[in-house]
């Protein structure tokens, strides 16, 4: 007789590790209100979808990241960093704010985006659980992941779109992403150093980053451009302010892209 395993979402829920009931298949189901809150009733919505973390990186955490062993020094910084996330609930002075990180390697494929997504997922989980513990309603979008390359592609499509309707829908999407990246309490700006950016596109990037640094909103940047060279991408004043608020986390070694995960 074949025994069918109980249908659970255990492997697919980002709350699995911290959740005390995730090993109980009668409780850990798609009907769990917390599963629905973070993944939506369909499993593809909720706060995880609102955060826009790319599908490949949606389940990665700081603890299970494939980059962890190879990038031990970086992860020592990342571990200390995520330990400061409880500050999101304190209204303490500036010194107690959550800082920003700049994940850098000249070499591509070293695990920067993976790590940024892991940090963002960790923030999302902490925000969700910490809010409930304080009897507060978790925000719908505490975290937002801006893929700068995709955002730039949208920007280029605005000019290429034919017809007012098409133009408007692409530019609305561009604007939506911009607003999310500006206002989310915590954001990833993935590939901040894109060198091919036009002056016009750069001004939008500038607006997003300027708003975040001015309001001291914690941000994880990933980049293949050394932070000292950011002044060539943005103006020197903004680059200085990014530098001011950031700890640089170097990623070492050669590209791991294409390796089995």
Ligand X SMILES: Nc1ncnc2c1ncn2[C@@H]1O[C@H](COP(=O)(O)OP(=O)(O)OP(=O)(O)O)[C@@H](O)[C@H]1O
Residue 93 host element (H or E): none
Encoded tokens for 164: 């007012």
CA 175, CA 177: separation in Å to the nearest integer? 5
Q: Which does 9 bind (CB under 5 to 8 A by kind): ligand X, Mg ion, none?
A: none
Is residue 224 involved in binding ligand X (CB under 6 A)? yes
Out of 108, 159, 169, 254, the residue judged to bind ligand X by CB under 6 A: 108
Among Mg ion, ligand X, none, residue 259 binds (CB under 5-8 Å by kind) = ligand X
Comparing CB distances to Mg ion, the nearer of 9 and 113 is 113
Instruction: Give the separation between CA 133 and CA 108, rounded to whole angstroms.
Output: 40
- CB-based contacts of 79, cutoff 8 Å, min separation 6: 62
Q: Are 212 and 180 in contact (CB under 8 A)?
A: no
259 binds ligand X (CB under 6 A): yes
CA dihedral 155, 242, 61, 70 (to 10 degrees): 110
- CB-based contacts of 23, cutoff 8 Å, min separation 6: 10
Give the single-character DSSP code of 192: T
Nearer to Mg ion, 8 or 222 (CB): 222
Smallest separation, CB 220 to ligand X (Å): 12
Reduce the secondary structure of 154-173 to three states and give it as a string: HHHHHHHCCCHHHHHHHHHH
The site for Mg ion, by CB under 5 A, has a size of 2
Which of 222, 230, 233, 246 touches ligand X (CB under 6 A)? Answer: 222
Candidate residues 46, 111, 193, 218; the one interacting with ligand X per rule CB under 6 A: 111
DSSP SS3 for 153? helix
User: Which CB sits closer to ligand X, 67 or 143?
Assistant: 67
Residue among 36 and 77 whose Cβ is closer to ligand X = 77
Query: Does the footprint of ligand X cover residue 66 (CB under 6 A)?
Result: yes
Beta strands in the chain (DSSP E): 100-104, 143-147, 186-190, 219-223, 246-250
Q: Could you tell me which stretch among 7-15, 40-48, 109-117, 198-206 binds ligand X (CB under 6 A)? A: 109-117
User: Residue written as tokens 């070499």?
Assistant: 107
Among 8, 9, 61, 114, interactor with ligand X by CB under 6 A: 114
Residue in 9, 22, 113, 223 binding Mg ion, rule: CB under 5 A: 113
* Interaction of residue 61 with ligand X, rule CB under 6 A: no
Residues that bind Mg ion (CB under 5 A): 112-113
Residues that bind ligand X (CB under 6 A): 66-67, 70, 108-114, 191, 222, 224, 256-257, 259, 261
């Amino acid at each position: 007789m074949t025994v069918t395993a109980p249908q659970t979402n255990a492997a697919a829920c980002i709350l699995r590790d911290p959740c005390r009931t995730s090993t109980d298949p009668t409780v850990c189901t798609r009907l769990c209100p917390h599963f629905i809150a973070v993944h939506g009733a369909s499993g593809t919505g909720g706060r995880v979808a609102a955060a826009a973390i790319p599908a490949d990186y949606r389940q990665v955490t700081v603890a299970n990241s494939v980059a962890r062993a190879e990038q031990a020094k970086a992860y020592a910084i990342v571990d200390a960093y995520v330990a400061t996330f409880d500050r999101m609930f304190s209204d303490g002075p500036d010194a107690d704010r959550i800082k920003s990180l700049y994940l850098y390697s000249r070499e591509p494929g070293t695990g920067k985006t993976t790590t940024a997504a892991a940090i963002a997922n960790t923030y999302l989980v902490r925000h969700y659980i910490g809010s409930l513990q304080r009897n507060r309603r978790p925000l719908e979008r505490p975290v937002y992941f801006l893929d700068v390359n995709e955002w730039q592609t949208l920007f280029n499509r605005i000019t290429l779109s034919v017809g007012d309707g098409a133009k408007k829908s692409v530019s609305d999407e561009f604007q939506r992403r911009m607003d999310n990246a500006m206002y989310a309490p915590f954001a990833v700006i993935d590939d901040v150093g894109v060198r091919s950016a036009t002056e016009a596109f750069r001004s939008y990037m500038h607006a997003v980053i300027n708003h975040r640094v001015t309001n001291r909103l914690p941000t994880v940047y990933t980049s293949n451009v050394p932070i000292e060279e950011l002044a060539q991408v943005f103006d020197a004043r903004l680059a200085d302010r990014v530098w001011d608020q950031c700890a640089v986390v170097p990623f070492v070694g050669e590209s791991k892209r294409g390796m089995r995960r």
